[in-house]
């Protein structure tokens, strides 16, 4: 691939009907530039959850592609998404990952903005501008579009285009609903720290791969967890059993639908009884049981957020062969503290720096990236389960969480990767 790749060449990198994708899709800097332009600087990108900024004045610094943005809550409680750029000579006005401030003061020449973006201070302005500077024309610039669904905040740098509602679609919203509905008040809280790391691989490696766990995670599932649960490698059995599905949820979103696997009973403890009772009071017995048994969605929303209960994983592409990932544990509001303690221990034990799952995935992603740099035979095969793809209406699931009319295949099939790439190609080819 040359540095002048054009969108029209994109289709030549995919032979999905035969089950092949060209390695350039994951290794080419030119393709990465197109992704920045067409996906991250044009489409909807997840930036944060509004529970990260609960108090007036709270802010967090985030990214939309390569653009630094400030998500904050102003003195009136309104959430904003501002481009991190001073209106004077374009310095970034915010340098800290998070904090609380009623003002953003640019360190370069002292221009100062209120938390609602209004420019309120221009040092030594008297006599310097003729006519006098109109401060109202120099406020912080908001991201062209911001959308919020159940506290999840997305931004788009394009003033026009599909709405957030269109981008998510019904099924992805239902996945968000199932994630949040583990709380009896339907709200999560994302403000208890995170684990962040850089992975030297392409950002499109986002999991949703049901084929790898018994092998990649052999240590965890085959020995550690099996010993804990007193059973052999459970996931090998799952691939044979055919009880779970991979699903294309539309718009590039996909999931491993492991909701029917069950999570086992809650412990026989007063806090567990209290949690169950509050869930039943909130949702009714049947729906509460479904939510708690499901373990939540295992869903990946393009381009950069994964809901893998209890984790929220957010991804930031840096280069064709480099991305950053942040793992948050989503706490549930309105539950006994033991519920959240158990959730955070789970996130730490699987995804933390000494966790038993993430390290395996990172190693595979990086080995995969290395393999794809080979120039001889650049095609990789993602044809598993092509003949098993079918439309599934998810009838057994309560309507509130149903993935109606979704393309599905066996849990271990590469349907998810094909779904992601079809969406990806359509984004890169958009006029």
Instruction: Write out the residues near ligand FES by the rule CB under 6 A.
Output: 86, 88-89, 91, 106, 108-111
Could you tell me the smallest distance in angstroms from the CB atom of residue 225 to ligand FES? 53
The half-sphere exposure of 38 on its side-chain side, counting CA atoms within 13 A, is 18
Toward Fe ion, which CB reaches closer, 361 or 414? Answer: 361
Beta carbons within 10 angstroms of residue 141's beta carbon: 12
CA 50 to each of CA 72, 73, 142, 336: distance values in angstroms, whole numbers, following the listed order: 9, 9, 16, 22
d(CA 254, CA 307): 11
Toward Fe ion, which CB reaches closer, 321 or 361? Answer: 361
Contact status: 58 vs Fe ion (CB under 5 A): no
The end-to-end CA distance of the chain, in Å, is 21
Please state the three-class secondary structure of 96-119 as a single string: CCEEECCEEECCCCCCEEECCCCE
Q: What are phi and psi of 14, to 5 degrees?
A: -125, 130
Residues 359-398 binding Fe ion (CB under 5 A) are: 361
Toward ligand FES, which CB reaches closer, 95 or 286? Answer: 95
Which of ligand FES, Fe ion, none does 218 bind, CB closer than 5 to 8 A by kind? Answer: none
Toward ligand FES, which CB reaches closer, 86 or 408? Answer: 86
Which of Fe ion, ligand FES, none does 86 bind, CB closer than 5 to 8 A by kind? Answer: ligand FES
Could you tell me the smallest distance in angstroms from the CB atom of residue 46 to ligand FES? 28
Contact status: 181 vs Fe ion (CB under 5 A): no
Q: What are phi and psi of 101, to 5 degrees?
A: -160, 140
Toward ligand FES, which CB reaches closer, 111 or 331? Answer: 111
Could you tell me the smallest distance in angstroms from the CB atom of residue 91 to ligand FES? 4
Which of ligand FES, Fe ion, none does 109 bind, CB closer than 5 to 8 A by kind? Answer: ligand FES
d(CA 402, CA 409): 16
DSSP at 382: -
Residues that bind Fe ion (CB under 5 A): 361
């Amino acid at each position: 691939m040359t540095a002048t790749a054009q969108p029209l060449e994109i289709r030549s990198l995919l032979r999905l009907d035969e089950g092949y994708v060209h390695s350039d899709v994951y290794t080419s800097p030119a393709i990465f530039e197109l992704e920045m332009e067409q996906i991250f600087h044009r489409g909807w990108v997840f930036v944060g959850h509004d529970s990260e900024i609960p108090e007036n004045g709270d802010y967090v610094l985030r990214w939309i592609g390569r653009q630094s943005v400030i998500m904050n809550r102003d003195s009136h409680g309104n959430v904003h998404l501002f481009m991190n750029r001073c209106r004077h000579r374009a310095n970034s006005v915010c340098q800290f990952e998070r904090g609380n401030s009623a003002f953003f003061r640019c360190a370069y020449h002292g221009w100062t903005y209120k938390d609602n973006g209004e420019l309120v201070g221009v040092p030594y302005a008297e006599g310097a501008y003729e006519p006098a500077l109109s401060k109202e024309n120099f406020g912080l610039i908001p991201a062209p579009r911001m959308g919020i669904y159940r506290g999840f905040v997305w931004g788009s740098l394009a003033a026009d285009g599909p709405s957030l509602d269109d981008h998510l679609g019904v099924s992805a919203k239902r996945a968000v609903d199932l994630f949040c509905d583990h709380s009896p008040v339907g709200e999560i809280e994302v403000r208890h720290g995170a684990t962040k790391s850089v992975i030297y691989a392409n950002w499109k490696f986002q999991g949703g791969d049901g084929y790898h766990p018994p092998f990649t995670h052999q240590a965890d599932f085959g020995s550690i967890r099996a010993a804990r649960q007193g059973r052999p490698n459970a996931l090998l059995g799952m691939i044979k059993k055919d009880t779970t599905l991979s699903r294309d949820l539309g718009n590039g979103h996909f999931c491993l639908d492991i909701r029917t696997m069950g999570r086992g009973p809650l412990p026989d403890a007063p806090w567990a009884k209290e949690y169950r009772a509050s869930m039943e009071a909130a949702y009714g017995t049947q729906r509460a049981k479904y939510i708690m048994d499901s373990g939540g969605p295992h869903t990946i929303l393009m381009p950069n957020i994964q809901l893998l209960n209890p984790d929220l994983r957010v991804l930031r592409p840096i280069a064709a062969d480099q991305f950053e990932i942040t793992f948050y544990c989503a706490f549930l509001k309105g539950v006994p503290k033991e519920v959240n303690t158990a959730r955070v221990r789970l996130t730490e034990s699987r995804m933390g720096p000494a966790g038993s799952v993430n390290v395996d995935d990172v190693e595979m992603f990086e080995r995969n990236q290395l393999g794809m740099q080979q120039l001889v035979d650049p095609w990789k095969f993602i044809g598993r389960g092509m003949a098993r793809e079918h439309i599934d209406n998810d009838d057994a699931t309560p309507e509130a969480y149903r993935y109606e009319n979704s393309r599905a295949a066996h849990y271990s099939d590469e349907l998810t990767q094909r779904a992601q790439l079809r969406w990806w190609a359509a984004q890169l080819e958009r006029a």
